């Protein structure tokens, strides 16, 4: 990495660290929850940008990986007494172990990654709409399997008793790693191949790029981090079932990616921050509020409507998202300073 890139990375690390650090010190439970929520969605959004944005492959059923990650990590960290009372049918080796958050989250990433490898090898050969449908099928199949594998997942009953292990520190850690991996991937050799295969499939193939391998790599990496986000989610919400991971969450994550910029890591991240904050602000306004003498009555559902409308507007005016493929240069402040500096120097010379 060049000196400039290192400086840029450090700037981002600093800014994020500042935000999380301040939150850790001063924020109360409510703001902490909102911050954690936004961060988890940001991880989902950035990992989705790796598979969908870079390669143009639209995986609608990606949340299946989140579900797999959530259940994997949830089962692994569940305390033994809870396992004994609520999940007596677990296979012996799962029923007698309880591991820590980090290894469980790694496992939560690996399981979906393996599934993605197997499934991807089959379906990533298809094109456009058909991959979208096949991934939707993956979501349905995963949901069905999770619902029926009662011994492992308690079936349709709520999976509960999960330890509240997610906190600002862990979320910060995983967010930074996801951002870093996505960013490096995009700037790497593979990243350029992915973008090429998205923009002009025939030309890319003519160049000798192995499309399947490129797509598969993106898919697997993306599945890994989506699974990690699933683990963080599980230890945050503390209770879930297979229907938690279905269409509503899918739409939320997709909108963040689409609004922010499908091919952009910073876009995906900022899309999550912007939409996540917007959703929460709207939610606070929903019960009605007063501006001076004007009293606005409650409008439940305002948040969903505003976000859906925003989505449609972005699609009409900027169909590749606000940022498209470009990234925000973290060192833009340096350029601004330099321009001020140059201006001052020029003036003094005149």
Partner 1 sequence: MSSLETLLQQLFNALTIGSLYAEAAIGLAMIFSILNMVNFAHGDILMLGVYSIVFGVASGLPFWGAAILGVVFAALAGVLMERVAYRPLRGAPDVALLLTSFAVTVLVENGIIMFVSPNPQPFPVPAMLNKYVSIGNLRLPAIDIGVIASTFVLLAVFTLLVKRTRIGIAMRASSSDSVGAHLCGIDINRVVVFAFALGSAMAGFAGIGWAGRLGIVEPFMGLEPVLKGFVACIFGGFGSLPGAVLGAYMLGGMEVMFTAFLPTEYALYRNAYIFVVLILVLLLRPSGLLGTTAKEKL
Partner 2 sequence: MRKSLLLVSVILVLALLATSCGGQKATTSIKIGGVLELTGGLASLGNGVANGAKIAVAELNAKGGILGKTVELVVRDCKTDPVVAGTAATELIEVSKVKAMIGLVDSDLALAVGPVCQKNGIPYMSSGATSPKLPGQIGNTFFMSAFGDNTQAAAAAEYAYKELGARTAYVLWEKGIEYTTVLAKYFEQRWKELAGPDSVLLNDFYLQGDPKVSGQITKLRSLTKQPDVLFIASEPDDCGVVVKQFRDAGLNQPIFGGDAYDTPLLTQVATGVSDVYYTAPSLLAENAGSEMGQKFYKEYVKTYGHAPESAFPALGYDSIMALAKAMEDAGSTDGAKVIAALEKFKNVSAVAGNLTFGPNLNDHTPMKQVAIIRTVKGQLELAAMYAPEKVPAP
Site residues (CB under 8 A) for partner 2, limited to 146-185: 147, 155-158, 160-161, 164
Span near partner 2 by CB under 8 A; candidates 173-181, 220-228, 240-248, 339-347? 240-248
Q: Name the binder of 91 from partner 2, partner 1, none, CB < 5-8 A by kind.
A: none
The rounded distance, in Å, linking the Cα atoms of 61 and 246 is 8
Q: Name the binder of 243 from partner 1, partner 2, none, CB < 5-8 A by kind.
A: partner 2
Asked if 141 interacts with partner 1 (CB under 8 A), we say yes
Asked if 213 interacts with partner 2 (CB under 8 A), we say no
Within 8 A by CB and 6+ apart from 330, the residues are: 8, 9, 11, 12
Q: Name the binder of 125 from partner 1, partner 2, none, CB < 5-8 A by kind.
A: partner 1
Q: Name the binder of 340 from partner 2, partner 1, none, CB < 5-8 A by kind.
A: none
Q: Name the binder of 127 from partner 1, partner 2, none, CB < 5-8 A by kind.
A: partner 1
Shortest distance, position 127 Cβ to partner 1, whole Å: 5
Contact mark string toward partner 1, 202..231, x via CB under 8 A: ---------xx-------------------
Of residues 27 and 110, the one with the C-beta less far from partner 2: 27
Phi-psi region of 154 (alpha: psi -120 to 50; beta: other; left: phi over 0): left
Asked if 192 interacts with partner 1 (CB under 8 A), we say no
Nearest to 39 by CA among 231, 165, 168: 168
Give bridge partners of residue 160 from the DSSP assignment. Answer: 239
Cα Rg for the chain, rounded, in angstroms? 22
Provide the H-helix boundaries in the chain: 3-26, 29-48, 54-55, 63-77, 80-86, 92-95, 101-123, 128-148, 150-153, 168-187, 189-199, 201-206, 211-237, 247-260, 265-285, 302-317, 332-349
Contact mark string toward partner 1, 6..45, x via CB under 8 A: ----------------------------------------
The rounded distance, in Å, linking the Cα atoms of 65 and 46 is 14
Site residues (CB under 8 A) for partner 1, limited to 43-62: 56, 58
Span near partner 2 by CB under 8 A; candidates 2-10, 114-122, 201-209, 266-274? 266-274
Site residues (CB under 8 A) for partner 1, limited to 145-164: 145, 148
Within 8 A by CB and 6+ apart from 84, the residues are: 95
DSSP codes joined into one string, 183-226: HHHHHSHHHHHHHHHHH-HHHHHHTT--HHHHHHHHHHHHHHHH
Asked if 340 interacts with partner 2 (CB under 8 A), we say no
The rounded distance, in Å, linking the Cα atoms of 263 and 244 is 27
Within 8 A by CB and 6+ apart from 82, the residues are: 161
Nearest to 46 by CA among 226, 315, 246, 232: 226
Span near partner 1 by CB under 8 A; candidates 17-25, 27-35, 67-75, 296-304? 296-304
Q: Name the binder of 29 from partner 2, partner 1, none, CB < 5-8 A by kind.
A: partner 2
Q: Read off the DSSP letter of residue 321.
A: -
Asked if 245 interacts with partner 2 (CB under 8 A), we say no
Q: How far apart are the first and last CA of the chain?
A: 39
Span near partner 1 by CB under 8 A; candidates 5-13, 66-74, 119-127, 322-330? 119-127
Contact set with partner 2 (CB under 8 A): 28-31, 33-34, 37, 147, 155-158, 160-161, 164, 233, 236-241, 243-244, 248-249, 260-261, 267, 270-271, 273-274, 277-278, 280-281, 283-287, 298, 300-301, 303-304, 318, 322-323, 326, 328, 332
């Amino acid at each position: 990495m060049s000196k400039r890139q290192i400086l840029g990375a450090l700037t981002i690390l600093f800014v994020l660290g500042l935000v999380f650090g301040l939150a850790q010190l001063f924020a109360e439970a409510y703001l902490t929850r909102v911050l954690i929520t936004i961060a988890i969605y940001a991880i989902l959004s950035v990992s989705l940008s790796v598979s969908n944005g870079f390669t143009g492959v639209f995986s609608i059923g990606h949340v299946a990986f989140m579900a797999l990650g959530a259940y994997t990590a949830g089962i692994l960290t569940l305390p033994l007494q809870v396992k004994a009372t609520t999940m007596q049918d677990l296979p012996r080796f799962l029923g007698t172990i309880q591991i820590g958050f980090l290894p469980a989250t790694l496992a939560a990433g690996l399981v979906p990654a393996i599934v993605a490898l197997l499934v991807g090898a089959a379906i990533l050969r298809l094109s456009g709409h058909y991959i979208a449908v096949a991934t939707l099928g993956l979501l349905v199949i995963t949901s069905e399997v999770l619902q029926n594998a009662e011994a492992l997942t308690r079936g349709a009953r709520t999976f509960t008793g999960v330890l509240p292990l997610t906190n600002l520190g862990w979320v910060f850690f995983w967010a930074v790693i996801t951002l870093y991996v996505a960013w490096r991937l995009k700037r790497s050799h593979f990243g350029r191949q992915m973008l090429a295969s998205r923009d002009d499939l025939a030309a890319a193939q003519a160049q000798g790029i192995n499309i399947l391998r490129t797509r598969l790599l993106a898919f697997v990496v993306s599945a890994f981090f989506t699974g990690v986000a699933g683990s963080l989610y599980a230890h945050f919400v503390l209770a879930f079932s297979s229907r938690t991971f279905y269409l509503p969450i899918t739409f939320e994550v997709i909108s963040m990616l689409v609004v922010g910029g499908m091919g952009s890591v910073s876009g995906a991240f900022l899309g999550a921050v912007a939409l996540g904050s917007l959703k929460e602000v709207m939610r606070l306004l929903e019960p009605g509020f007063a501006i001076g003498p004007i009293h606005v009555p409650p409008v439940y559902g305002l948040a969903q409507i505003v976000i859906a409308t925003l989505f449609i507007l972005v699609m009409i005016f900027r169909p590749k998202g606000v940022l498209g493929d470009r990234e925000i240069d973290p060192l833009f402040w340096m350029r601004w300073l330099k321009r001020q500096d140059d201006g001052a120097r020029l003036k003094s010379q005149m």
